[in-house]
Amino acid sequence: MAEGAAEVSAQSGGGGDPGAVEPERGVAPIKPQYLTTKEQFHEFLEAKGQKPSQESEAVDPAGNDLTEPEAKRIRLEDGQTEDGQAEEAAETGEQLQAQKRARGQNKCRPHVKPTHYDKNKLCPSLVQESAARCFYGDRCRFLHDVGHYLETKPADLGPSCVLFETFGRCPYGVTCRFAGAHLGPEGQNLVREGLVQVPPVRNGLDKALQQQLRKRKIHFKRAEQALRQLNRGPLPGPTSEATVPEGREAEGAPEQDNCDIQLAPQEPDAVGPPSGPLRTCGPLTDEDVVRLRPHEKRRLDISGKLYLAPLTTCGNLPFRRICKRFGADVTCGEMAVCTNLLQGQTSEWALLKRHPCEDIFGVQTPCLSYWSRASLTHLEELIASARGQAGRPLTPCPPTRPQLEGAFPDTMTKCAELLNRTIEVDFVDINVGCPIDLVFKKGGGCALMNRLAKFQQIVRGMNQVLDVPLTVKLRTGVQERVNLAHRLLPDLRAWGAALVTLHGRSREQRYTKLADWQYIEQCVAAAHPMPLFGNGDVLSYEDANRALQTGVAGVMIARGALLKPWLFTEIKEQRHWDISSSERLDILRDFTHYGLEHWGSDTQGVEKTRRFLLEWLSFLCRYVPVGLLERLPQRINERPPYYLGRDYLETLMASQKAADWIRISEMLLGPVPSNFVFLPKHKANAYK
């Protein structure tokens, strides 16, 4: 296959002469015999593909770009039609601008959430094989006829079920897309008696706790005390935390009764989270009265370890299991919003789940403020009064109202207490490096670096209610040439932060320039003796070695792990791994197995696994195999040109076309539904 790829490249004239064209700046230097053009690249894939007619890259006779997703292509055709009518009518160029916005960064992405899951869906009481009848009876909107469901159910995707092979029983029964492996002759769900075990994932959301959170019946005693101290003045330093009088600790809020709903205290030898809220009367437990001293808190000793960064969307539990297998030492869950956690949202609590292989695991919360409906209504009344549109004079808002209604020191401190009591983590991380406009404009993320008083309240408040170490993730600053991190590090050390991770870019830079490791080296001295981890542009063991020479306690890896999760192995073994395409496909197959375990093996779980696989493939296609490079190593800011790999699968994995990613997913998860549409979530171009 390597000879065939080289012959096609030579015939296309895409770089056969070694001295013809020098490598372009910002482009990975690939050996000339593998280089090709865009047209020849896609022709090669079409010639070897199973569906060449449907995967055509050329432009159709009408002039439409067939590489665009169907939903987006419809919008473009509408925009082109409107532009033609506008030219005939001599109108302004508003339609042309609208078309450019549609083609730019997927700002008008279609709502692609599947709706066919609820069609002909079997009642959960039948799926779970419950002895009791359906609670809703005749009012149930789901099917109760198993025979009719099996007639309309799509064909199985494979002969073996991962859940049945791993745990001895598939909880999805007849709805499993691999049900043929564990259904008896009469449609009953088979069980392997000697292999039955419960999936070992921890940090799940208990139903009783979820109900208490939704009804707002949880009393956050420690958080309220910390907030009262924040309102009276700055909290004492970390060394004086143990001197809080027990009498004041036992005092409740003025409106507190003698009988409150509190979070159930977790036993020291308990393996999983508590069963739910516990109603207590009378004296408080020792856990609420006796506070841990700072030196009694658990230590976070991860110096010299490889830290997998918390990655939104792609940093899910199956991906973290892949990275742990290749040598990642520390993992952190995806960023979870505090307000959603306090409201008991199942989707947000799913981000906190932890696999047993994650021996050092943390969760991350963003510094994000929000306004309650009452505060917004009051603010609108003030604005209307100022403009003379209200009947009453302008009155100032009470100073304590915004904080009590949802200012984020209050929210994050309560969330920290909730996490401290209900889940098993080794540390909690505050994300002060988020550059997203939605978060920044609300005063959260990177904006908190310019709001020192609010930042101090958050760190001190969370540190007081947590029994595990508190860490902080920063950027160099907000503006490109105005560094702020070196000023904040001594304060963070005094406020009680156990560790700080510094990303060597500002908010304005995003990913357009290389990380500033010289500035990170300066910040190491400012943070001493607090450990500082560095983050940015690590894609090889040489990059990691240069980063450690700056004096950082360790290296956090983010995009490098998305492009090549075996990077952790390369760093520990100090070598370049020329991994084959079949080995990379085996990694993707393991990811799908982990995904089916995590999200389920029914139709909804399979398509969710496929969607996260496609999101990851949108990063994996940027990796260039070691054997194809003229110079080692590949740099993270170098985009790959069009090249033909050593075999067909290696070439297919290099495609940046969503249709080819879907073709790879079909190798692992079977054919996609007819109405399936995929557009990658990430919009920022890392190679500008």
| Mean pLDDT in consecutive groups of 10 residues from the start of the chain, 688 residues | 46 42 78 93 80 39 44 45 45 49 51 57 79 79 84 88 91 91 86 80 91 92 88 54 32 36 42 44 50 65 94 94 96 92 93 94 77 40 42 36 46 93 94 83 83 90 93 91 92 94 90 89 94 95 96 95 96 96 96 95 93 95 95 92 94 93 94 76 39
- 3-state helix, strand, coil split of the chain in percent (to 5) is 45, 10, 45
What are the backbone dihedrals phi and psi of residue 153, each rounded to the nearest 5 degrees, phi first?
-70, 140
Please count the CA atoms within 13 angstroms of the CA of 313 that sit on its side-chain side: 16
- Measured in degrees and rounded to the nearest 5, phi and psi for residue 308 equal -80, 120
- At 97 the pLDDT is 52
Dist CA 196 CA 14 (whole Å):
56
pTM for the structure as a whole: 0.77
User: Residue 193 burial (CB < 10 Å; 0-12/13-18/19+)?
Assistant: exposed
Q: What phi and psi, each to the nearest 5 degrees, are found at residue 184? A: -80, 180
Give the length of the chain: 688
Chain centre to alpha carbon of residue 504: 20
- Residue 233 is predicted with a pLDDT of 65
Give residue 551's identity as a one-letter amino acid code: G
Cβ-in-10-Å burial (0-12, 13-18, 19+) of 387 comes to exposed
Token pair of 364, please? 């991350």
Where does residue 610 rank: exposed (0-12), middle (13-18), buried (19+ CB within 10 A)? buried
10 Å CB burial of residue 61 (0-12, 13-18, 19+) is exposed
Check the CA dihedral 425-682-540-501 and report its sign. negative
| Residues taking part in catalysis | 434
Beta-sheet strands, E only, within 318-394 = 331-335, 361-366
